Structure 1
Amino acid sequence: MSNFMRIALVVFLLSGCTFASSSSMPYKAWTLGFSAPDYMEVWIETADVVDIQDHVFQRAASGIASMQAPPNNAGNPRGWPKRGPAGGGKRVTGADLPQQIYVRWQSLVEPQTYLMVIKIPEATREIMRKGEKVFCAADGKWITGYRDSIGIRLVPGGIARVWVGGPCMTPIEVTTVKAVIDPRGPYEGKSGGHHRPLSAASKAYVEKFGVPYDSWK
């Protein structure tokens, strides 16, 4: 079975949304966030979650991934960050911890539309359940912290790197995933092949410096 067919099967399964209890984790909800390198704009058409109770949460996240575009091309999009960014996040309310995250997004600097399924193993969920004593410099207190967020960095070429983190906690990198191109194009083929427009700042950077694909290998 091809990668696209596997992803298409997941899309077929993501046809409903049922709410579950969050009994397997020590907090009420976890957060799903997305980011992109400087100027490398990303539009998330949908990020759907299947939790460990096999309940589906459609459009758990969507919209613009967190990104900076410093003026005068002063930013640097090259490479992966040493400390995984949480990105613009949304709490996945009512869900248990995830087993799979399905993402369909537009990489606007290419432009290209990608599909991927991120499988979350039990080892990652154990990290998310584990509490640690940590000092929070912001308020000068020791707390029991949890890595209750999943941060996903999306880069041109259809590559995603995933971290788990939380307030006052050091993020832990858990996986890197290579997506496939969605042959239907943007918006599942409903836009006549038209992607969202690129911002002026991103367009100016790409026209001058190009897209540094080699920095994300």
Structure 2
Amino acid sequence: MAVWIETADVLDIKDRGFRRVMGGNARMDFTFKPEDGWSTRTGVGSGKYVSGSDLPKLIYVRWQSLAEAQTYEVVIEIPEATRHSMLKPERAYCRLNDRVIDNYRTYVTIGLAPGGVAQTWLRGVCLGRIKVTRTVGRIVPLGPDLGRSSVGYLPLEPESQAYIDAHGIPYGAW
């Protein structure tokens, strides 16, 4: 299901804030059925590097669930154990270059779903994902852009709308 990310802000372990590190359109992989939950191919998508930051402590995300025409916000706490694992290299076979490499899990990926669900994973190049947290955000009563939007919610892509028309929103799948 498609979402519009209004803002994603990061607070690192040195209490430095990095605002609007991500924004814009994001959508799930449609090579699977949404009622089956998260795709096994969750990647880094159109993510951004947070240059100059240390390890993440908190991530704030405010987004519009286009399937529901609802705005949510969530604060995701990154556990200390997760941050520790980001510093530890892991050996993995890399199909990209057909070699065994040592690499780090440096990508924090956040899946956003109807109902305000924010699922967080940690992954790295040639390293599979590890589930970090599952958090349910709260509804933002002011709506899109904190009530400053004269446009309202964006329309769904035809593929998403057709799925919802046929099956409804699969709440609980995420």
Does the CA-based 8 Å contact 1:48-1:56 persist in structure 2? yes
- Equivalents in 2 of 1:136, 1:116: separation in Å? 34
Q: Among residues 32, 38, 53, which one is paired with 2:14 in the alignment?
A: 53
| Correspondence for 1:29 | none
Distance 1:148 1:50, change over 3 A: same
**Unmatched tracts of structure 2, length 5 or more:** none
Written as runs of structure 1 = structure 2, the 5 A alignment for 1:201-212 is: 201-212=159-170
- Please report how far the alpha carbon of residue 80 of structure 1 lies from its aligned counterpart in structure 2 after TM superposition: 2.8
Does the CA-based 8 Å contact 1:49-1:56 persist in structure 2? yes
| Correspondence for 1:16 | none
Does the CA-based 8 Å contact 2:121-2:131 persist in structure 1? yes
- Equivalents in 2 of 1:59, 1:105: separation in Å? 12
- Equivalents in 1 of 2:82, 2:42: separation in Å? 15
| Correspondence for 1:77 | 34
More strand, by proportion: 2
The structure with the larger Rg is: 1
Does the CA-based 8 Å contact 1:84-1:172 persist in structure 2? no
| Correspondence for 1:214 | 172
- Equivalents in 1 of 2:13, 2:79: separation in Å? 10
TM-score relative to the length of structure 1: 0.75
Does the CA-based 8 Å contact 1:66-1:88 persist in structure 2? no
| Correspondence for 1:184 | 142
| Correspondence for 1:200 | 158
Q: Secondary structure at the match of 2:160?
A: helix
Once the two structures are overlaid, the 10-residue window that deviates more, 145-154 or 79-88, is 79-88
- Equivalents in 1 of 2:23, 2:119: separation in Å? 17
| Correspondence for 1:141 | 99
Could you say what the CA RMSD is over the residues aligned between the two structures, in angstroms? 1.6
User: Quick one: which amino acid aligns to residue 162 of structure 1?
Assistant: T
Percent identity between the two aligned chains: 48
More helix, by proportion: 1
| Correspondence for 1:62 | 23
- Please report how far the alpha carbon of residue 76 of structure 1 lies from its aligned counterpart in structure 2 after TM superposition: 1.0
Does the CA-based 8 Å contact 2:29-2:39 persist in structure 1? no
- Equivalents in 2 of 1:54, 1:138: separation in Å? 36
Q: Among residues 55, 58, 64, which one is paired with 1:106 in the alignment?
A: 64
